[in-house]
Amino acid sequence: MDLTTLALIGIVAMIVLVFMGMNLGVAMFLVGFVGYYLATGNIMKSMQLFQTVPFSTASGYTLAVIPLFIVMGEFALQSGMSKGLYDACERWLGKLPGGLCLATIVSCGLFGAICGSSSAAVATMGKLSIPEKRKYNYDIGFSAATVATGGTLSWLIPPSTGFILYGITASVSVGRLFAAGIIPGVLLMLAYMLAAIIVCKRNPSLAARGQSYPLKERLRSLLGLIPIVALFGIVIGGMFSGIFSSSEAAAIGAFISVIYALVRRRLTFKSFIDRMASTLKSTLMIFQLMMGAYVFGYFLTITHLPQNLAASIAAMNVHRLVVIGLMFVLYILIGMFMDTLSAVLITIPIFYPIVINLGFDPVWFGVVIVLVMVLGTITPPIGINLFIAVTLDKELNLMSIYKNVAPYCVALVIVTLIVIFFPQLSVWLPNLIYNA
């Protein structure tokens, strides 16, 4: 059988297995193993994948950054940083049209600076903001859609799990990717806020103005931002300045967040065990996906599918932005039906060689991938953030959230197109920091 045909059959088989209910990591591992055997005809070489891939994945020093940043986010959440953050944003933005939604968006963005998890941001900020919005008769569907959308900022603002996985898989500097996500992340936050203001101006019944606070109380609320700003400054600032590596930054951030939770007396033995168990669960899920993706990647590499696709696209004689546009559409479709992290891990071995062959900056492409994958978390039918948001209130239903998330999706698409056509928005800051 032709190797390219074998690769395409393997991709289809993996997708079918996933939709039949098989765990994605297991599906990628199984298809990769069988496909590698069929491509080489050597069962011993295929068996070596079982011997080498799990150990090399789990023992890799670069992957240590993942559980450490997860620990940092878990204990920062336990310490109550999120409450002070939301209160400060609410006091400064609550009086504006849709002010509590604006406060939710900003607090989600800032929370992403210590969390890196979109799901955690939605769950945490949703529990804080939904009851507050109810007090001012906000539309519950619009409120939940705003929380689900705000959570996506955790993918752009470092430390981002998406950037970490892309950097490890594509062998791109995680530090550069973190720096590259800051400007697009802030731009996306502003775009979400603008979308919320426009929607609330056109339909004031969705969101009433919140309470107005005196200047003294607003200034006092800024004290709630100090722990998050300090943690972000130490971790990200130290990494950008070269004082320590990304793994060391993650370890320092994890240590500081644990100490802060202890100082605040928010950490008991039971909560410590719960947070570590949550960290272990998230880490195992990611590592399982990574193992499966590596085996699947070996299979695709030996079939030369990525190289053949790159050569075919180069022979099409079309502008390279047309190729990116096609990938953009394909990623939107993939994101609608597949978990975001999984989609990144599956597609990078296929698309990355094509992008490099076309002369694009790999850091810029990482930002574009994350932006497009973010869209998948808030689009039906399998937008994970929407499913988390619907659990925040018993009166919520998915249809009400689907209806209200559309303006935010439009804002995200516009920002993605801006980043595609203006690459300097992504590469200027990392080039400045790392003197490239």
Give per-residue pLDDT as tens, 180-204: 999 999 999 999 999 999 999 999 8
Residue with tokens 């932006």: 371
Per-residue pLDDT, averaged over 235-261, amounts to 89
114 neighbors 120 (Cβ within 8 angstroms): no
Tokens of 57: 């994945």
Would the pLDDT of 425 be above 70? yes
Residues 6 or more apart whose CB falls under 8 angstroms from that of 400 comprise 140, 141, 144
pLDDT reading at 178 higher than 90:
yes
For the chain, percent of residues with pLDDT exceeding 90: 31
Q: What is the mean pLDDT of residues 278-291?
A: 84
Residue 198: the pLDDT is 94
* Residue 250 structure tokens: 């993650």
324's tokens: 């990116």
Res. 35 pLDDT band, cuts 50 70 90: very high
Q: Give domain limits for the chain.
A: 62-433
Per-residue pLDDT band at 419 (split at 50, 70, 90): very high
The secondary structure of 346-412 as a DSSP string is HHHHHHHHHHHHTT--HHHHHHHHHHHHHHHTTSSSS-HHHHHHTTS-TT--HHHHHHHHHHHHHHH
CA atoms of 149 and 163, how far apart (whole Å): 19
**Residue 14 has which token pair?**
């993996």
Query: What distance in Å separates the CA atoms of residue 246 and residue 69, rounded to the nearest whole number?
Result: 10
Whether 354 contacts 309, CB under 8 Å: yes
Provide CB contacts within 8 A for 264, sequence distance 6+: 79, 80
Average predicted confidence (pLDDT) for the chain: 86
Look at residue 436 and tell me whether its pLDDT is greater than 60: no
Q: Is pLDDT of 318 > 60? A: yes
| Ranges 184-193, 239-248, 258-267, 305-314, most confident | 184-193
- Choice between 405 and 210, residue whose per-residue pLDDT is larger: 405
Query: Global pTM?
Result: 0.83
What does the pLDDT look like over 381-406, one tens digit per residue?
Answer: 667 788 888 888 888 888 889 899 99
Q: What is the pLDDT of residue 65?
A: 82
